[in-house]
A and B are shown apart, each in its own frame.
Chain A
């Protein structure tokens, strides 16, 4: 008897905008097994041309790492994502990074979250290639990626929810 309602239920989905102006690419290209092998979850790699990270979705900032190279954002649907700038950038201890948000803040897609110095990252860390990880969640039905050259208004991830 519930199938009637199910069929007519609007399909629930979430759209992620690009976290940067630059390019988005397959997460397997990230030179760090923790990310490329999807141990932390599925997602995309991205590279910024101007050193600004934007919120890809509306949500709450769960944490900004003390070193400002990564943050965790939670959508109202309950999807939790990690945005991590560069690889081995934790060693930079915040140098070259600036946070424009903080733990507990509500943000909208397109809001500026962090800025970072790409040339400093290239000089001091392993790479400036960055990752967006969608951490595992039972409410996810499927995930679709649209990769390539992007500006911050491009849609790059579509998640269908159960």
Chain B
């Protein structure tokens, strides 16, 4: 298992469109990809879960990956959340 921190930097947080970007990125990996916010786990491959997380700017998230490509998945998820969501 691998864990990495990510801070939401986009002005409008993770709403519908950014949630889709997060899910698309997570789905590229075989590993289980979870995002933890306020001690609640959200499946990063589920659009409903990520929209329900309703992360806003400056929220601190923990990316938790588990599987054969967990290291690459964790790095990619931090990158998409911290940089990919900025327009």
Contacts and interface: CB of A to CB of B under 8 A. Distances in A.
Please give me the 4 A-B residue pairs with the lowest Cβ-Cβ distance, nearest first. Answer: A90-B12, A63-B52, A80-B48, A90-B15
A135 B48 contact: yes
B7 to A, nearest CB: 17
Interface stretch (A44-52, A65-73, A142-150): A65-73
Given A40-B47, A63-B51, A80-B48, A70 B12 contact: no
Contacts of A80: 48
B56 to A, nearest CB: 5
Contacts of A93: 12
Interface of A: 34-35, 39-41, 62-63, 65-67, 70, 72, 80, 82, 84, 90-91, 93, 135
Contact-size category for B: 10 to 19
A72 B52 CA distance: 7
Interface of B: 11-13, 15-17, 20, 47-48, 51-52, 54, 56
A90 B13 CA distance: 9
A35 B11 CA distance: 21
11 contacts: A34-B17, A39-B20, A40-B16, A41-B47, A62-B52, A63-B51, A65-B51, A65-B54, A67-B12, A72-B52, A90-B12
A30 to B, nearest CB: 12
Contact of A34 (B12, B20, B54): B20
A93 B11 CA distance: 10
Nearest to A137: B48
A70 B16 contact: yes
A35 B56 CA distance: 21
B48 A65 contact: no
Contacts of A40: 16, 20, 47
A68 to B, nearest CB: 11
